[in-house]
Amino acid sequence: MNKEGVLVVGSANMDLVVFTNSFPKPGETVFGNDFQMFPGGKGANQAVACSKLGGKTYFMGKMGNDDFANSLYDSLHSNNIDLSYLMKSKESHTGMALITVDGKGENEIVVVSGTNMKLTCEDLKNSNVLFKDVKIVLTQLEIPTETVMSIANLASENNTLFILNPAPAKELPDSLFPLIDYLTPNETELEILSGVKIKNENDIKTAAYVLLDKGVKNVIVTLAEKGSILINKNRFDLFIGNAVVAIDTTGAGDTFNGALAYSLSKNKTIEESINFANYSASISVTRRGAQSSMPTKQEVKQIIQ
């Protein structure tokens, strides 16, 4: 049987977003200009990005038994995502994120994980078939590290390409790195994972090599509006980004990852896929919210070079 589609395993959060001119300093009170709630969570966002672009997409995650879960389910369902492996639990509340977006479109995010951190290795037990059938497995770090480890092992056992978006970054077991086909940190995450302070491109290379030496096959460092860099033992290539005026950068990294997975699942080359992901992410920052800002394939086709 031909492998097809993308499985995203990860978090779903309700995003409570305040738009303000500038971030408050510690102890300072500032006024916001607007408040909105958006469906979010890095896992759910990446699944929506992939599905909106036209990819067959499965989302596996855990939500609570509350109103936020219903709204998040509706968003995923209306975006055509297969939710057969979505779980509900009474152990905690559905994940949520408190987000502040400033006048330049930058964000600050506090995540309260709730049920996302209750997604266990045990929960993956009956999903072997899915890991075998899909072309790509994509996950992030808003679920327990042991679960990420099991996901990576299942992908490897089933010869399925594994992408890890190490966000938010934290210390990872050494045994995880050789299982990663594509690791997609931003510069801050790369610093945390490698222990190398990044000030320039040379530092990026040094930091990426720390991870390649641990067994990661490819590192793709996302650089926001500057684009992204692909690094493996044979190459160090910059893919220039598409300059736009950003109004909300929330979910740009998720759009990049969902688009990358989508494109690779359609047998595009890694060069085509990174370029496609750069352009997809550039559209998402011109609109508010995470899932609400993600482009269709048609929109990306109109601007891609």
String of DSSP letters for 48-73: HHHHHTT--EEEEEEE-SSHHHHHHH
254 lies in the site for ligand RIB, by CB under 6 A: yes
248 lies in the site for ligand RIB, by CB under 6 A: no
8 lies in the site for ligand RIB, by CB under 6 A: no
Q: How far is the CB of 210 from ligand RIB (least distance, A)?
A: 24
Nearest partner of 34 among 285, 213, 290, 248, judged by Cα: 248
CB nearer to ligand RIB: pick between 18 and 210 = 18
Contacts of 116 (CB under 8 A, 6+ apart): 10, 11, 12, 13, 41, 43, 61, 62, 95, 142, 143
Which one of 82, 123, 248, 254 is the catalytic residue? 254
| Site residues (CB under 6 A) for ligand RIB, limited to 198-237 | none
Residue of 9, 19, 41, 221 interacting with ligand RIB (CB under 6 A):
41
34 is an active site residue: no
Q: How far is the CB of 231 from ligand RIB (least distance, A)?
A: 22
Question: How many beta carbons lie within 10 A of that of residue 82, not counting itself?
Answer: 18
Strand 32-40: give its sheet, edge to edge. 32-40, 13-20, 95-101, 107-112
142 lies in the site for ligand RIB, by CB under 6 A: yes
Residues noted as catalytic: 254
Q: Give the footprint of ligand RIB on this chain (CB under 6 A).
A: 11, 13, 15, 40-42, 45, 97, 109, 111, 142, 250-251, 253-254, 290
